[in-house]
Amino acid sequence: MAATSTASALPAPAAGFKALIALVGVGFAAALYRFWVGLGASTNLSDSVPWGLWVAVDVLSGVALAAGGFGITAAVYIFNMKKYKSIARPAILTAWIGYTVVVIGLVIDIGKPLAFWHPLVMWNPRSVMFEVVVCITLYSAVLALEFAPAFLERFKLTGLQKFLKLFTFPLVIAGIVLSFLHQSSLGGFFLIMPHKVPALWWSSNLPYMFYLSAIALGLAMVSFESIVSARAFKREQEMEIIQGLGRGVLITLGLYFAFKVGDLAYRGALSQVFSSGKASVFFILEMLIGVIVPIGLYAVKSIRESVNGLFLAACCVIVGTVMNRFNVNFFAQAGPNSNYFPSIVEILITIGLVSLMVLLYRLAVTYLPVFHEPGKSH
Amino acid sequence: MATNNEKAKGVLVDLTRCIGCRGCQVACKSWNERKTGKTTIEGNFTNPKQLNSDTFTRIAFIEQDNGAQPVWSFVKDQCMHCQDPACLSACPVGAFTRTPEGAVNYTFEKCIGCRYCMVACPFNIPKYEWESTNPWIRKCTFCSDRIADGKIPACIKVCPTNVMLFGNREDIMKEAEKRMKDSPGKYVNHIYGKEEAGGTSWVYLSAVPFDQLGFNTKIPAQKLPDLTWNMLGTIPAKVGALVVGLSLIAAFRNRGANNDDDSSESKQGKEK
Ligand code: SF4
Ligand code: SF4
Ligand code: SF4
């Protein structure tokens, strides 16, 4: 790709780039192996734990990580919070790459990868899984259109760009609605098994909990990326923006915490917080790391105003929410005979997919006008 | 919903009659042409320990002590053929169907292998061909091929002590209640499957409390698919409300700003 003024303004990717490519390569080889020998030989999935690391991380968490895409576009276009406009594109990019990788992860996870298209023609409207597949497909298309201006700008197709602009609002609204539907439906997967999921997690409100925590996670992810990109490209940190994002995360986490505690109390399950054995340990860890500690961090002024503090808080939210998805998924299946730890192939593929996400992101921000350089127009 | 129509069949499993001969287990394997493998008996006599893609039914051997001597219970496991099956509602491609007789069957050509049916089934019945590169879900078919042919399921046919009674579900439910009334104190006062998961085609009578026999007694007496339908069914209303609400907010928050939207993006860099 020839460097244009935009591209040459950014340093070529260097450090860590080769390592990323290597990890993606290893993951690719592991995926080939998985297709070659089947799920039984390559994973530790079994009849007692049919959903493992890939469902928990590559699908449930991957989708939630990409929630920043609709969160930021809602802030910018619906609520007219102009200051976030500069991060709308990176957020949409993250979401788009996130969904692409989620779909790759899904194809690797399902037992019949060649049948991946079946839900698009064989409909079961009573299935949450069907609804999620439809929403993810539609939303990927919406994200592609929302990100298209970056390509059009890069290749100077202003006519098309103008035309696409007409659809900005409908696209943004479609994106928010689709996101609400499937982000909550990921929690909806588990509604049908009230007797399997421990009371610490199961609630008829599970879909809304997944939705709220996805917003917190999505915003945390965007601030994580802004901080890391600014460091990598030696730009100045945009304090106003990352502090604003931090406020957003804090408010969402506060709501989530109140909702969670209220829901536990309403269902009379508060006493189980400490009395559910292994589930309690994981539940408390998830709440501490993902909710309570970050709320504490954001509440302290000196932490809230430092880049490192905000970075740490964002990391906590990311780790804690991924733990939550993992816990819900695992304990929904955990019976007396379940024990599951992902196999090396499962781990390598997951690492490969995460690396692929980072790699695509770095390529895109290097060669496409994703970040508008402060004090520099093109 | 085709629940409880005249043709809906059911099976009453009277556990007090089972002698643990495993005849049903063998008959099921041979009728369904399932592989047999070398197995070992470990810890207790249940073999294999779990249902799997080659074992649609098996007898669990449960040993309890009443002080003087061991007391054995033998429990047959297979798909319960729910009246409103969780597996059927969960499957994204509609691979499960429920026949008018009440058999819940699986269409392998549709399946994508997402395994949601396995996670969603309250009784953990669907099993997967993990070792295959083109795997299917496998489970008891209620011998619907035999039923269609006017025969009774293979496992019921071979049972030497008539543990299982096949008939219209309504009739077998009446029979279950009759047996409980005729022999007071013989059975625990519960017909497992009468209400579990909204009612199942296969129901059980037992002399030993069900939770001691490995039955999950926490399964709610509710049609489980309703739990997800409560969410899915309201989607059109939610979509409508969101679209209207978001449009109004957008119009309000962006009032008077529509025209400079075009230029704001290109000015973006300079603003800072
Ligand atoms: S027992 Fe499980 S597999 Fe059988 S019909 Fe009910 S939900 Fe489906
Ligand atoms: S594994 Fe197959 S049958 Fe089971 S829910 Fe998924 S697509 Fe349906
Ligand atoms: S009904 Fe048929 S498939 Fe089901 S357990 Fe009996 S023999 Fe096996």
User: Distance, CA A197 to ligand 3 centroid (Å)?
Assistant: 29
Q: What is the pLDDT of residue B5?
A: 47
Q: What is the pLDDT of residue B149?
A: 87
- Does residue B113 line the site of ligand 2, with CB under 6 A? yes
How far the first Cα of chain A sits from its last, in Å, is 18
What is the tens place of the pLDDT at every residue in A113-124? 988 889 888 999
Which residue type is seen at B178?
Answer: K
Tokens of B266: 């290109």
Whether A23 is in a domain gets the answer no
Which residue type is seen at B35?
Answer: K
Whether A39 is in a domain gets the answer no
Residue ranges lining ligand 1, Cβ < 6 Å: B 79-82, 85-87, 104, 121, 123, 125-126, 139
Q: Find where tokens 């990580």 sit.
A: A65
Between CA B232 and CA A39 the distance in angstroms is 31
Residue A371's closest chain B neighbor by CA? B269
- Using CB atoms, pick whichever of A129, A177, A191 lies closest to residue B116: A129
Between CA B75 and CA B58 the distance in angstroms is 8
- Using CB atoms, pick whichever of A169, A196, A335 lies closest to residue B250: A169
Residues A72 and A173 in one domain: yes
pTM of the model as a whole: 0.89
Residues A247 and A171 in one domain: no
Q: Is the ipTM of this complex over 0.90?
A: no
- Mean per-residue pLDDT pooled into runs of 10, chain A (378 residues): 41 69 94 93 91 90 86 85 86 91 93 89 90 90 88 82 81 87 89 91 91 93 88 82 90 94 90 85 93 92 88 93 92 78 94 93 85 49
Whether A254 is in a domain gets the answer yes
Whether A30 is in a domain gets the answer no
Q: What is the pLDDT of residue B260?
A: 45
DSSP structural state of residue B204: E
Residues A264 and A220 in one domain: yes
Instruction: Count CB neighbours of A291 within 10 A.
Output: 22
**Structural domains counted in chain A:** 2
Residues A286 and A183 in one domain: no
- Does residue B56 line the site of ligand 3, with CB under 6 A? yes
Residues A266 and A348 in one domain: no
- In this structure, the residue with its CA closest to atom 2 of ligand 3 is B143
Q: What is the pLDDT of residue A162?
A: 81
Positions in chain B short of pLDDT 50:
1-5, 259-272
Q: What is the pLDDT of residue A315?
A: 93
Q: At what angle do helices A307-333 and A278-287 cross, to 10 degrees?
A: 150
User: What beta strand segments (E) does B78-216 contain?
Assistant: 96-98, 104-106, 127-128, 137-138, 164-168, 202-205
Q: What is the pLDDT of residue B163?
A: 95
Whether A13 is in a domain gets the answer no
**Among B26, B78, B165, residue to substitute to test ligand 3 (most atoms within 8 Å of Cβ):** B78
Contact assignment for B232 to A191 by CB distance below 8 Å: no
User: Which chain B residues touch A334 with a CB distance below 8 Å?
Assistant: none
Residue A116's closest chain B neighbor by CA? B112
Distances, alpha carbon A261 to alpha carbons A268, A313, B26, B44, B135, in Å: 10, 21, 51, 43, 42
Distance in Å, alpha carbon of B93 to nearest chain A alpha carbon: 5
Whether A45 is in a domain gets the answer no
User: Distance, CA B53 to ligand 3 centroid (Å)?
Assistant: 13
Q: Are A69 and A94 in contact (CB under 8 A)?
A: yes
Residues A368 and A306 in one domain: no
Residues A58 and A181 in one domain: yes
Instruction: Count CB neighbours of A32 within 10 A.
Output: 10
Q: Are A34 and A43 in contact (CB under 8 A)?
A: yes
Which of A 158-217 lie inside 8 A of B, CB atoms?
162, 165, 168-169, 172-173, 176-177, 180-181, 184-185, 188-189, 191-196, 204, 207
Whether A12 is in a domain gets the answer no
- Does residue B250 line the site of ligand 2, with CB under 6 A? no
Residues A84 and A181 in one domain: yes
Residues A359 and A313 in one domain: no
Contact assignment for A332 to B119 by CB distance below 8 Å: yes
Whether A92 is in a domain gets the answer yes
Residues A321 and A264 in one domain: yes
Residues A310 and A358 in one domain: no
Candidates A278, A308, A321, A282; CA nearest to A64 is A321
Residues A209 and A186 in one domain: no
Query: Which domain range does residue A251 map to?
Result: 205-336
User: Which chain B residues touch A375 with a CB distance below 8 Å?
Assistant: 269-270, 272
Q: Which residues pair with A354 in a beta bridge?
A: none
Q: Which ligand is nearest to the CA of B198?
A: 1
Partner B contacted by A79 (CB < 8 A)? yes
Q: What is the pLDDT of residue B117?
A: 95
User: Distance, CA A163 to ligand 1 centroid (Å)?
Assistant: 51
Contact assignment for A177 to B242 by CB distance below 8 Å: yes
